Structure 1
């Protein structure tokens, strides 16, 4: 029965003590919040801006923010210290009350000592510093001497053995409190390490999914907001120049701040050029609204990130995580730049190869028809009388065909050059599709007479927005491609139809068709479907590539598919233009 009573008393006292601790914590939290809210309402900015109205319009200056943070941190520390002292006093009272109850129940003094040691252990667990458990250790010895040793209610002791008890009691309390504080610190460090590892792991996972510089910096900004709950300002650095800032707000209230000022930009320029942090909370530009840090690898700066002041200054742990996050961001940006440079080198190498192929093809393609033109013209000039009429017409026809082919080649080359240089200026206008297709047929070479070319007209007026000169070139190239790769007598049909808000124009033939392998490369420059280097006459491989570039510039698409039962169909789309008829 006595044991049950002891357990009941002990648990009741523990519950009361725990309830008191929670009430104390809640009391100080409420009072701390109330005090800070009242202080925020004070006219802190009035001394700097002159009037309350002006200060509210200007917002918080760096000096007032620093003052607010300093006072808030000081107040938090004061409340924390006071709270811990009260907790220590409550533990001392509870342990003393328990000890007095145990004495009334006839519990020996050696067991009562353990109650005070337990109190010291609890104090070490619930307070922030070792000083509280150390103070309670000394206080426990004094209370035990005052209340439980003879003569009672004095600090004297008749039995010299009590001094050994006091010493063991003090050392036991001190050792247990030290071990508890150490375990608590180890647990906190382990939790911080785990948190830091998780943050960096998440950061690394997110960065691996991004390939663009803008996206990498955005991921970094969002992770910093998640960690610090502060506004983040991001500047990209490209070719030693700062981009316009991108602001990431942690809340709606944060949007009241204006970080896009010339003063803030000057701080960022200094950070970029000197590769050092500056701004708020530093000696360099302390009046800035943000702390600006360089995103760098060695001496290479890839960006500048600004961190706005928060409700409390960053502690060392947060600073270390921020630096680690910026380090991960810098490595990702370095990899992105390395990949981009490799791609640029590959593109340059490909362009050089294309230019070499182009020069080789042009040198042959120009030489062959020019030789024919020159030879036929020379024969006509020197031996005109020796040729009959039929031979002369054939020579004249060859000269005409080769000259037309050269004109088309030059037109294609000029268009390719304009596209590569970004100088393809579209002169858009609404055109009737049937008229454009009919006009394209009139510009075909004489060879087209050997084929059956059909124009399939629509019952409705189909109009599309286009640069008519370039679209004529596209249709001529598609028909010319059919003339080259289908036998004489083949049927080539040009048709059109409307699909949704687009107009489809198709050029079909009933030739041999195109293999599936060739379809994948048919619109590539210099591809002729022969797996050979492009150096045969009339097979430069520019026509279809040029068609794709022109159609894409019109925001359309081009494709090739099989014709049934044989042959192929080239289809391109153009934005449709509505036709309004006045009745």
Structure 2
């Protein structure tokens, strides 16, 4: 009769225990189903772009991903592993030995019961499934009844109160193990959340370093490979059309054609047009090898990512991280597009400003000398017999100076146009620097006679490889700049020297000099400074900008410095050429 009651108590306790476990399992499954529903809805695709927290250690993500894969493999193994059964048997043996020890010490049986409950708790903590703690709960009651209750070494119990003790012992052990398993699940979810946060933070850090759309998508693909250990296919979306696919392999490269078939491309097109996922594990194009997801912000699709699934679909946690990574990628692509559009708008605005400045400057600079030329020519035509020889020569000289200035202006404009269009063809030859500087002085306007222009020749034979026509233009522009911004009588010196493997050519003056603010912009196109120009009609501001472009095309550099006690020095460099004399 007692055995029958014991069986009834065990059956009742087992039913209650299984009911409790079932409720806990159902809660856990509902939590998983919630994530699955979020995966299936399109709202999750649009909203998974929240800002993630910060990390401390660089490279943590790679190690975390490796650990994640190891844990994932362990979790995918069968629960009923031999090692966990061995752990359960060891715990049962240890608790039984401790119970015998406590009995010898005269400790009451109620305290021995807690030892077995502790054993169940330990089992729940160190094993992978609750089946082990449940099994130990049942056997703990049986062992306690068999070894420690009268009559010993039987499953009978003289005292009917033991049945209540057995039931409470079983339920306590069962509930304790269930709570322990629940805590383990919560800890695992917290670890997954931290892992997800770290992955997204590192992803964000990597994306911030990239400025090109292709590089951003490549970083995203590599992060997905590290996380999922799967092949990734990337399609860029540009002007509502798909680019050629880029396949990134997690291991050995396979045939790319298997990921670029017409069915795969049609799935990508459907994703791009409908802004929803398609491909493997979905109702749209279920036979595709990859699951295709849109990289998007709201309704703007920037690309399509394909994840090769094979025979192993992603779990809920992986899907959640993938969506978050794609959200970060979409935000980075949105920022990249915004920056690119702003830069293009700025370039267009700058070009418009340059065009307006050029037209305004040309109209001003052409009108004044042309007016002088036409006026002097008209006076000579109508009043030639009334002018003396000296007046005629002065008028002829003015016409010549203005026409030469116009020729120089046109040369500068043509050179600027060639440089801007990339059509500046250098006709390189090795030239003697002193000869080039001397030739440039012979091409100066008549106004240079009002200045003290000195040519400082070098004792060495300095040779440099150059396009002599363009370098002459540079030196003439630099001297002409000094003529414009210094008063008559100023000293202008042209000198050259060798410094390491470069030849330096300098044009210095003792005029008023250039302010620090003007030095920052002196080589910009159309910049004329804040000083009053000596000859205000010649103020186009192309000369120094053109000089910089020509010198940089020669792989040299140009700079401006102060000339103490006053004035300025313009210096440009050219690669030096060695002179070999045959004895």
What TM-score results when the alignment is normalised by the length of structure 2? 0.76
Residue 136 of structure 1 deviates from its aligned partner by 2.2
Indicate how the Cα distance of structure 1 residues 294 and 458 shifts in structure 2: closer, same or farther if over 3 A, else same.
farther
Deviations 1:263-318 (A, max 9, x none): 45975796374556677888859776x76654332343434556678998754323
1:484 aligns with 2:480: no
Indicate how the Cα distance of structure 1 residues 183 and 350 shifts in structure 2: closer, same or farther if over 3 A, else same.
same
SS at match of 1:188: helix
Indicate how the Cα distance of structure 1 residues 312 and 91 shifts in structure 2: closer, same or farther if over 3 A, else same.
farther
Deviations 1:506-531 (A, max 9, x none): 11122222222221221122221237
Indicate how the Cα distance of structure 1 residues 442 and 264 shifts in structure 2: closer, same or farther if over 3 A, else same.
farther
Indicate how the Cα distance of structure 1 residues 554 and 271 shifts in structure 2: closer, same or farther if over 3 A, else same.
farther
Which residues in structure 2 correspond to 1:415-434 (within 5 Å)? Answer: 415-434=415-434
The number of equivalent residue pairs is: 508
- Aligned counterparts of 2:237 and 2:247: Cα–Cα separation in 1: 15
- Aligned counterparts of 2:235 and 2:496: Cα–Cα separation in 1: 50
Q: Is 1:463–1:579's contact at 8 Å kept on the other side of the alignment?
A: yes
Pick one of 268, 276, 280 that aligns with 1:271. Answer: 268
Tell me the residue number matched to 1:511. Answer: 511
Where does the alignment leave 5 or more consecutive residues of structure 1 unmatched? 1-68
Residue 84 of structure 1 deviates from its aligned partner by 2.9
SS at match of 1:78: coil
1:324 aligns with 2:320: no
Tell me the residue number matched to 2:361. Answer: 361
* Superposition CA RMSD, Å: 3.8
Q: Is 1:95–1:119's contact at 8 Å kept on the other side of the alignment?
A: yes
- Aligned counterparts of 2:267 and 2:493: Cα–Cα separation in 1: 67
- Aligned counterparts of 2:279 and 2:505: Cα–Cα separation in 1: 61
Residue 144 of structure 1 deviates from its aligned partner by 2.8
**Which of structures 1 and 2 has the larger relative contact order (alpha carbons within 8 angstroms, sep 6+)?**
2
Deviations 1:430-477 (A, max 9, x none): 333233323322322222233333333333333333333322221111
- Aligned counterparts of 2:456 and 2:310: Cα–Cα separation in 1: 71
Tell me the residue number matched to 2:253. Answer: 257
Q: Is 2:506–2:571's contact at 8 Å kept on the other side of the alignment?
A: yes
Indicate how the Cα distance of structure 1 residues 577 and 312 shifts in structure 2: closer, same or farther if over 3 A, else same.
farther
Q: Is 2:267–2:292's contact at 8 Å kept on the other side of the alignment?
A: no
- Aligned counterparts of 1:531 and 1:494: Cα–Cα separation in 2: 23
SS at match of 1:566: coil
SS at match of 2:453: strand
Q: Is 2:267–2:285's contact at 8 Å kept on the other side of the alignment?
A: no
- Aligned counterparts of 2:255 and 2:570: Cα–Cα separation in 1: 54
Indicate how the Cα distance of structure 1 residues 574 and 238 shifts in structure 2: closer, same or farther if over 3 A, else same.
farther
Which residues in structure 2 correspond to 1:340-419 (within 5 Å)? Answer: 340-419=340-419
Tell me the residue number matched to 1:116. Answer: 116
Tell me the residue number matched to 2:201. Answer: 201
SS at match of 1:431: strand
Q: Which shows bigger deviation, 176-185 or 434-443?
A: 434-443
Q: Is 1:365–1:536's contact at 8 Å kept on the other side of the alignment?
A: no
1:523 aligns with 2:523: yes
Tell me the residue number matched to 1:30. Answer: none
Which residues in structure 2 correspond to 1:281-360 (within 5 Å)? Answer: 293-303=293-303, 314-360=314-360
Indicate how the Cα distance of structure 1 residues 518 and 205 shifts in structure 2: closer, same or farther if over 3 A, else same.
same
1:85 aligns with 2:85: yes
Indicate how the Cα distance of structure 1 residues 230 and 416 shifts in structure 2: closer, same or farther if over 3 A, else same.
same
Tell me the residue number matched to 1:557. Answer: 557
Residue 418 of structure 1 deviates from its aligned partner by 2.6
- Aligned counterparts of 1:265 and 1:375: Cα–Cα separation in 2: 77
Tell me the residue number matched to 2:447. Answer: 447
SS at match of 1:529: coil
